[in-house]
Amino acid sequence: MAEPALNERRHEVLQTVIEEYVETAEPVGSRAVAKHSRFGLSPATIRNTMADLEELGYLDQPHPSSGRVPTDKAYRFYVDTLDRPARLSESERARLRTHFPRPQSGIEQVMSETSVHLSALSRMTGVLLAPPLRQTRLAAINLTPLPNDRALAVVITEADWVTTRVLTPDPRLTPEELREAGRQLTRRFRGKTFQEILDEVAAPPDPLDPLHARMGTLVDQLFSRLRDRSLYVGGAINVLEHPEFWDIATMRAILRTFEEKEPLIELLSRLAAENGVHVVIGSENPVAEMQECSLVASAYVYENQVLGMVGVVGPRRMPYSQVIALVAETARLVSESLSRYRQQLYLPS
């Protein structure tokens, strides 16, 4: 049986509760709703309406004597029934353009600074899923030893795009052997595109090639991971500004997700299958550690091809209309900038 649609009164009360809770982060009582209601309803009528909304699953009451807070269902209803497509004002768009990286910036700077500026403008955490590399040319590879027999590979491109990967050499290499391996890899592959390198690595190895004989596993690990996407995270520490995340376990889980990146990369890659803005609210998120958050993300494109995603991660109690507008405009600016960097991008076939 289909759930009945909310009538105008319930819709108005629910919207007021959401907006008040977004503003205060405190459970909302009937008197607070009465002050903002355009219907001139009494607190008693509003209490009855809020009880109805609670029964329908739109509101929750943390404690018997407290006000109500919106549920994920309420936020989803709110996002899906926004009166009009969100847009930034001209002054807000000008401010965003002022923060956006300058035309002379390299693509690495555009990618990294975009997530930082999204964070600064939203006061939440900005994320950007970069395109995979393909036509970018290699400048250098540096290998540095890490604890537990691991190594940090720092890959530098001719476009000054720097990416890092943690590797596990097998067999184990000494620190000097690792550094020498980086020098050898640089000599072998400098000036080649990543696609050329990947094609060469995929070919049957020459058994007499000392590089493959001694470091074949390391080479495979390094270049197979260059097929992966990079995720830029700006303002992860902003989670501390929101009371929802002051619980230590919740905060650690979210920060760990930002640090490990893979679950968020997988989620954003899945969303990148479709153009446009996506809003993932609380329990809708398949990443369990992020179910106290909401994600607003939008694809950026080049010649109608989706190359990656930009987005904002914040509390479920976020001003969705403003954040959607900010993310959508940022995605548009990133798309616009990509025409300057075509030779550096992996363009899906």
- Distance from C-alpha of 119 to C-alpha of 141, rounded to nearest angstrom: 31
Give the pLDDT confidence of 19-55 residue by residue, as tens digits: 999 999 999 998 889 887 776 788 888 999 999 999 9
85 domain residue, yes or no: no
Contact by Cβ (8 Å): 6, 14: yes
**Is pLDDT of 141 > 60?**
yes
- Distance from C-alpha of 346 to C-alpha of 342, rounded to nearest angstrom: 8
Please indicate, yes or no, whether residues 207 and 238 belong to a single structural domain of this protein.
no
**Is pLDDT of 301 > 90?**
no
Answer with the one of 176, 195, 225 that is the final residue of a domain. 225
Please indicate, yes or no, whether residues 263 and 290 belong to a single structural domain of this protein.
yes
Please indicate, yes or no, whether residues 180 and 329 belong to a single structural domain of this protein.
no
125 membership: H or E segment, kind and range: strand 125-129
Please indicate, yes or no, whether residues 237 and 217 belong to a single structural domain of this protein.
no
Answer with the one of 225, 251, 266 that is the final residue of a domain. 225
Percent of the chain past pLDDT 70, that is, above it, reads 86
CA 46 to chain centre: 38
> How many domains would you assign to the chain?
3
- CATH number of the structural domain spanning residue 48: 1.10.10.10
- Distance from C-alpha of 149 to C-alpha of 168, rounded to nearest angstrom: 7
- Whether omega before 171 lies within 30 degrees of 0, making that bond cis, reads yes
Please indicate, yes or no, whether residues 160 and 15 belong to a single structural domain of this protein.
no
Residue 170: what pLDDT?
77
Please indicate, yes or no, whether residues 126 and 239 belong to a single structural domain of this protein.
yes
- Distance from C-alpha of 81 to C-alpha of 321, rounded to nearest angstrom: 11
Give the pLDDT confidence of 153-197 residue by residue, as tens digits: 888 877 666 677 788 887 788 899 889 889 989 999 999 888 788
Residues sharing a CB contact under 8 Å with residue 141, sequence separation 6 or more, in sequence order: 153, 154, 155, 156, 182, 185, 186, 189, 222
Verdict on whether the full-model pTM lies above 0.85: no
- CATH number of the structural domain spanning residue 154: 3.30.390.60
Give me the count of residues in the chain.
349
Mean pLDDT value across residues 82-106: 71
Range of the domain at 22: 8-80
Residue 349: what pLDDT?
35
127 domain residue, yes or no: yes
2 domain residue, yes or no: no
Answer with the one of 183, 204, 225 that is the final residue of a domain. 225
Give the pLDDT confidence of 185-206 residue by residue, as tens digits: 999 999 988 878 888 877 777 7
* Angle in degrees, 0-180, between the axes of helices 320-337 and 107-122, rounded to the nearest 10: 170
- Distance from C-alpha of 147 to C-alpha of 150, rounded to nearest angstrom: 6
Residue 75: what pLDDT?
97
* Range in 5-14, 215-224, 227-236, 256-265 the model is least confident about: 215-224
- Residue 185's nearest CA partner among 147, 146, 224, 212 is 212
Give the pLDDT confidence of 209-251 residue by residue, as tens digits: 766 666 667 777 877 766 666 789 999 999 889 999 999 999 9
- CATH number of the structural domain spanning residue 258: 3.30.450.40
Residue 341: what pLDDT?
61
**Is pLDDT of 97 > 50?**
yes
